């Protein structure tokens, strides 16, 4: 299953709910403002590091770029995908659960 999260973890609890309820081995895609969760040095970095050991965690590259987030500054284990990679994840991991 692919879980998608688009809200900043600093404003909403969608990512926290996803991490608490998703089955181990699932894939999580962060996009829009949720990509901030994947940054090193934030209050969410430890949670994301732990998530990367339980899930496949991805961040959408164009959304990182739009927010000025350097992919080299992401938590270890978070992989960057482009729009084509997003489509591939949906096809490979579906169904999709959107966390709003």
Domain of residue 33, CATH code: 3.40.1260.10
* C-alpha span between 47 and 53 (Å, rounded): 10
Please tell me the total count of domains within the chain.
1
Question: The pTM is what?
Answer: 0.95
Condensed to tens digits (0 to 9), the pLDDT of residues 32-73 reads 999 999 999 999 999 999 999 999 999 999 999 999 999 999
67-89 pLDDT, tens digit per residue, is 999 999 999 999 999 999 999 99
b vs e for 63-84, b when ≥16 Cβ sit within 10 Å of the residue's Cβ? bbeeeebeeeebbebbbbbeee
Residue 36 domain boundaries: 2-99
């Amino acid at each position: 299953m692919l879980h998608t999260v688009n809200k900043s973890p600093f404003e909403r609890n969608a990512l926290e709910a996803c991490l608490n309820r998703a089955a181990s081995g699932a894939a999580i895609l962060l996009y829009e403002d949720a990509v901030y969760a994947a940054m090193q040095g934030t209050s969410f970095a430890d949670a994301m590091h732990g998530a990367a050991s339980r899930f496949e965690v991805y961040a959408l590259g164009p959304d990182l770029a739009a927010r000025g987030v350097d992919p080299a500054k992401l938590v270890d284990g978070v992989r960057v995908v482009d729009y084509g990679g997003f489509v591939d994840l949906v096809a490979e991991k579906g169904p999709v659960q959107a966390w709003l």
